Amino acid sequence: MKKVFLSLTLFLVLSFAPKLLAQENAPHLRGNVKISIIEGTFECDLTMSNIPRVEDYLIRLNAGMNLLHFRSKKPHDFVLGYEKSTEDSTSTGESIAYYFPDNTGKGKFLPHEIQFRYVGKFPIASDTIENYSRFDWKGNIAFNGYSVRIDGNQSAWCPYIYDAKNDIEYDKFTYEIDLTCMDCSTIYLNGSQPIKSVNAKFKSQTPYELALFCGNFDFEDDGNIVILNPQFTKDEIQQLSNLVSSFKNYYEQKLDIKLEQSLVFVNTTPTAPKHGWLFVSSPTIMGIGEGKGGLSPLFEKEFQEWYKHHIAHELAHYYFTAFKKFNSILGDMLSEGLAEYISLKLVEDLFGTELYNAKLMAKIEWLEDFETNPLSSIKSITDIEDRETFVYDYAPVIFLAIEKEIGKDKMFEWIKTILKTETEFTNYEFLLSTLKNIVKDNKKIKSIENTYFKNEDSTENAINRLNK
Task: Determine the pLDDT at residue 23.
Answer: 45
Task: Determine the pLDDT at residue 211.
Answer: 97
pLDDT at 167 over 70: yes
Q: What is the pLDDT of residues 265-314, one digit of tens each?
A: 999 999 999 888 888 898 999 999 988 888 887 777 777 777 788 889 98
In total, the chain counts a number of residues equal to: 468
Average pLDDT over residues 325-341: 93
Pairing state of beta strands 41-49 and 113-121?
Answer: antiparallel
pLDDT at 20 over 70: no
Average pLDDT over residues 340-360: 95
Task: Determine the pLDDT at residue 300.
Answer: 78
Residue 59's contacts (CB-CB under 8 Å, 6 or more residues apart) are 70, 97, 98, 99, 159, 160, 161, 162
Average pLDDT over residues 9-21: 31
99 strand-pairing partners = 83
CA pair distance 427, 327, nearest whole angstrom: 7
Task: Determine the pLDDT at residue 282.
Answer: 85
pLDDT at 18 over 80: no
- Band the pLDDT of 91: cuts 50, 70, 90: confident
Q: Report yes or no: 317 and 334 within 8 Å, Cβ to Cβ.
A: no
Crossing angle between the packed helical segments 408-420 and 331-351, to the nearest 10 degrees: 140
How would you write the chain as a 3-class SS string? CCCCCCCCEECCCCCCCCCCCCCCCCCEEEEEEEEECCCCEEEEEEEEECCCCCCCEEEEEECCEEEEEEEEEECCCEECCCEECCCCCCCCCCEEEEECECCCCCCECCCCEEEEEEEEECCECCCCCCCCCCCCCCCCCEECCCEEEECCCCCCCCCEEEECCCCEEECEEEEEEEEEECCCCEEEECCCCCECCCEEEEEEEEEEECCEEEECCCEEECCCEEEECCCCCHHHHHHHHHHHHHHHHHHHHHHCCCCCCCEEEEEECCCCCCCCEEEEECCEEEEECCCCCCCHHHHCCCCHHHHHHHHHHHHHCHHHHHHCCCCCCCHHHHHHHHHHHHHHHHHHHHHCHHHHHHHHHHHHHHCCCCCCCCHHHCCCHHHCCCHHHHHHHHHHHHHHHHHHHHCHHHHHHHHHHHHHCCCCCCCHHHHHHHHHHHCCCHHHHHHHHHHHHCCCCHHHHHHHHHHC
User: Could you count the other beta carbons within 10 Å of the beta carbon of residue 334?
Assistant: 22
Q: Report yes or no: 101 and 22 within 8 Å, Cβ to Cβ.
A: no
Average pLDDT, the chain: 90
Q: Report yes or no: 254 and 412 within 8 Å, Cβ to Cβ.
A: yes
Crossing angle between the packed helical segments 395-406 and 458-467, to the nearest 10 degrees: 50
- Band the pLDDT of 321: cuts 50, 70, 90: confident
Task: Determine the pLDDT at residue 109.
Answer: 97
Query: What domains lie within the chain, and their CATH numbers?
Result: 28-220 (2.60.40), 326-467 (1.10.390.10)
pLDDT at 13 over 60: no
Task: Determine the pLDDT at residue 380.
Answer: 86
Q: What is the pLDDT of residues 187-238, one digit of tens each?
A: 999 999 999 999 999 999 989 999 999 999 999 999 889 999 999 899 989 9
Range from 129-133, 357-361, 370-374 carrying the lowest mean pLDDT: 129-133
Task: Determine the pLDDT at residue 223.
Answer: 86
CA pair distance 229, 213, nearest whole angstrom: 10
Average pLDDT over residues 144-167: 94
- Band the pLDDT of 24: cuts 50, 70, 90: low
**pTM metric for this prediction:** 0.80
Q: Report yes or no: 321 and 280 within 8 Å, Cβ to Cβ.
A: yes
**Which amino acid, 411?**
M
- Band the pLDDT of 59: cuts 50, 70, 90: very high
CA pair distance 61, 46, nearest whole angstrom: 12
- Band the pLDDT of 86: cuts 50, 70, 90: confident
Please give the backbone phi and psi of residue 49, each rounded to the nearest 5 degrees, phi first: -130, 180
Please classify residue 1 by burial: count the beta carbons closer than 10 Å to its beta carbon, then call 0-12 exposed, 13-18 middle and 19+ buried: exposed
